[in-house]
Amino acid sequence: MKPFSDVIVVGGGPSGSFTALNLAKLGASVAVFEEHSKIGVPSHCPGHLSIKGLKKLELYPLSAEIVENIFYGAVFHSSKGTSFSVRFSQPVTCVVNRVLFDKYIAEMAEKAGVHYYLNSKVESLIVEDGFVKGVYVRKKGRDEKEEFLAKIVVDAEGISSRFLRLAGLSGLNRQMVVNGVEAEVENVENVDLNMVEVFFGKDYASGFYAWLIPKKDGKAKVGLAAKTRNPHELLQKFMLKHPAAEEKLRTAKILHVAFHPLTLGGPIKKAYSNGFLAVGDAASQVKPTTGGGVVFGMTSARIAADIVYEALKENDFSSGFLGRYQRRFEEVLGFDVNVMLRIRKMLDAMSDQKIDDAISLCKKLKLDETLQSFEDIDFQGQSLLRLLRSPKMFAVLSYFFLLYLTANV
């Protein structure tokens, strides 16, 4: 049977649509199957993105409709109410409307020739002689499944990652998955519109942190993730009880709320097999420190598109050939992911008291200026290396690293 298209992409999120867009630009025929009726809906993510990362992807500037605010830095709060801020001279991050952002990428892909099939849930993979050869799709309202063949299937289905095992790969590290909650609120008080805020505290967000992202329209995005317990209850407790958050959020009204997990374990060790590649959250291409996966997912999507196109030219869809994808994205993300995994472990192991000590020390030593060289929030390993050139910062980082090594955190 003739392939339906060169490439089938499962999922029309940013990673799937960006893979499709780049492949279509190279000349491949691509079909995207998306289970929902609209791209970007439902949204579960505040969309806090680095401007540098978007520029590297040639996606910035974005339209004013998509960008809800821009930020010059961040304020870090301990659970005891101690705060420390880092402000840059230029905007470093922005918050986007994720529905409009996802739609924008999909519309560019469609213009480049990609075919989108909405309300079309991929139920399973077609595997023959050890090769993924296509997908079984159930369209909304239909009882029967349809078969669609392709030379390569790109799995961009997000964190559910149901198809990795069917393609002969290991799943995500579920020990490193945290439960997230994201809300839009109004009536927020005492916020600096140009700064995002990060709140630590194991009683509110064990294994992660809580955030407050103000929007230009006066509303804000508030959320947290935690290893345990019901994130909705934790969010209410955080808004009313966290010493640094309650003065801003006590009277805030939640307009809507969404729940979704985040994967913090770093990219899976093998994201390819015969006729198959996984990108984005499906391959856990997410920053282990912040859970940010849009820029990393799209960076990997662009690499996936290049390798898939090379495979189409060579007519070689074997895992031996597609292994180039893993090597190339590890070259780009590997060092930074390894550093971020260590930082995540260190933060998880630090008590609230030690985090308070660290924030107090940064404040006392006036490290805000030194931290100006941490301007790349995506590639945090390289940013840390630049920071080590400062003797003050070297001393502080060595102190906390020693505490970590001696398990004294």
Ligand X SMILES: Cc1cc2nc3c(=O)[nH]c(=O)nc-3n(C[C@H](O)[C@H](O)[C@H](O)COP(=O)(O)OP(=O)(O)OC[C@H]3O[C@@H](n4cnc5c(N)ncnc54)[C@H](O)[C@@H]3O)c2cc1C
Told to check if 122 binds ligand X by CB under 6 A, we report yes
Q: Toward ligand X, which CB reaches closer, 155 or 356?
A: 155
Binders of ligand X among residues 318 to 357 (CB under 6 A) are none
In three-state secondary structure terms, 126 is strand
Q: What residues form DSSP beta bridges with 180?
A: 225, 260
Q: Toward ligand X, which CB reaches closer, 31 or 371?
A: 31
DSSP for 330-389, please give it: HHHHHHHHHHHHHHHHHHHHS-HHHHHHHHHHHHHTTTTTGGGG---SSSHHHHHHHHTT
Quick one: tokens of 230? 């019901």
Told to check if 267 binds ligand X by CB under 6 A, we report no
Q: Toward ligand X, which CB reaches closer, 79 or 93?
A: 93
Task: Give the range of 7-15, 341-349, 384-392, 393-401 binding ligand X by CB under 6 A.
Answer: 7-15
Residue of 269, 333, 274 whose CA lies nearest to 301: 333
Q: Toward ligand X, which CB reaches closer, 44 or 324?
A: 44
Q: Toward ligand X, which CB reaches closer, 165 or 313?
A: 165
Q: What residues form DSSP beta bridges with 94?
A: 49, 70
Distances (CA, A) of 372 to 90, 400, 403: 11, 20, 25
Q: Please, what is the minimum distance in Å from the beta carbon of residue 155 to ligand X?
A: 9
What is the x/- site pattern for ligand X, positions 205-224, by CB under 6 A?
Answer: ------------------x-
**Phi, psi dihedral angles at 344 (to 5 degrees):** -60, -45
Binders of ligand X among residues 139 to 158 (CB under 6 A) are 156-158
Q: Toward ligand X, which CB reaches closer, 188 or 224?
A: 224
Q: Which of 6, 184, 281, 336 binds ligand X (CB under 6 A)?
A: 281
Q: Toward ligand X, which CB reaches closer, 131 or 136?
A: 136
Q: Please, what is the minimum distance in Å from the beta carbon of residue 111 to ligand X?
A: 19
Q: Toward ligand X, which CB reaches closer, 185 or 393?
A: 185
Q: Please, what is the minimum distance in Å from the beta carbon of residue 348 to ligand X?
A: 18
Q: Toward ligand X, which CB reaches closer, 37 or 251?
A: 37
Q: Toward ligand X, which CB reaches closer, 288 or 291?
A: 291
Q: Please, what is the minimum distance in Å from the beta carbon of residue 216 to ligand X?
A: 17
Q: Which of 37, 160, 251, 353 binds ligand X (CB under 6 A)?
A: 160
* Cis preceding linkage at 46, omega within 30: no
Contact 101, 60 (CB under 8 A): no
What is the x/- site pattern for ligand X, positions 176-205, by CB under 6 A?
Answer: ----x-x-----------------------
Told to check if 30 binds ligand X by CB under 6 A, we report no
**CA angle at residue 9 from 7 to 11, to 5 degrees?**
170
Task: Give the range of 30-38, 77-85, 195-203, 323-331 binding ligand X by CB under 6 A.
Answer: 30-38
Told to check if 275 binds ligand X by CB under 6 A, we report no
User: Which residues are CB-contacts of 134 (< 8 A; sequence separation ≥ 6)?
Assistant: 3, 4, 8, 125, 126, 147, 148, 149, 150, 153
**CA angle at residue 348 from 344 to 354, to 5 degrees?**
110
Instruction: Tell me how many residues contact ligand X (CB under 6 A).
Output: 38
Quick one: tokens of 225? 């993730």
Residue with tokens 């095992």: 165
Told to check if 266 binds ligand X by CB under 6 A, we report no
Told to check if 44 binds ligand X by CB under 6 A, we report yes
Contact 360, 82 (CB under 8 A): yes
* Cis preceding linkage at 267, omega within 30: no
Told to check if 36 binds ligand X by CB under 6 A, we report yes
Strands (E), 168-231: 177-186, 195-199, 210-214, 220-226
Q: Please, what is the minimum distance in Å from the beta carbon of residue 38 to ligand X?
A: 9
In three-state secondary structure terms, 175 is helix
User: Which residues are CB-contacts of 302 (< 8 A; sequence separation ≥ 6)?
Assistant: 18, 19, 22, 57
Task: Give the range of 27-35, 304-312, 327-335, 382-390 binding ligand X by CB under 6 A.
Answer: 27-35
Told to check if 134 binds ligand X by CB under 6 A, we report no
Residues binding ligand X (CB under 6 A): 10-16, 33-36, 44-49, 121-122, 156-158, 160, 180, 182, 223, 225, 260, 262, 280-281, 286, 291-295, 297
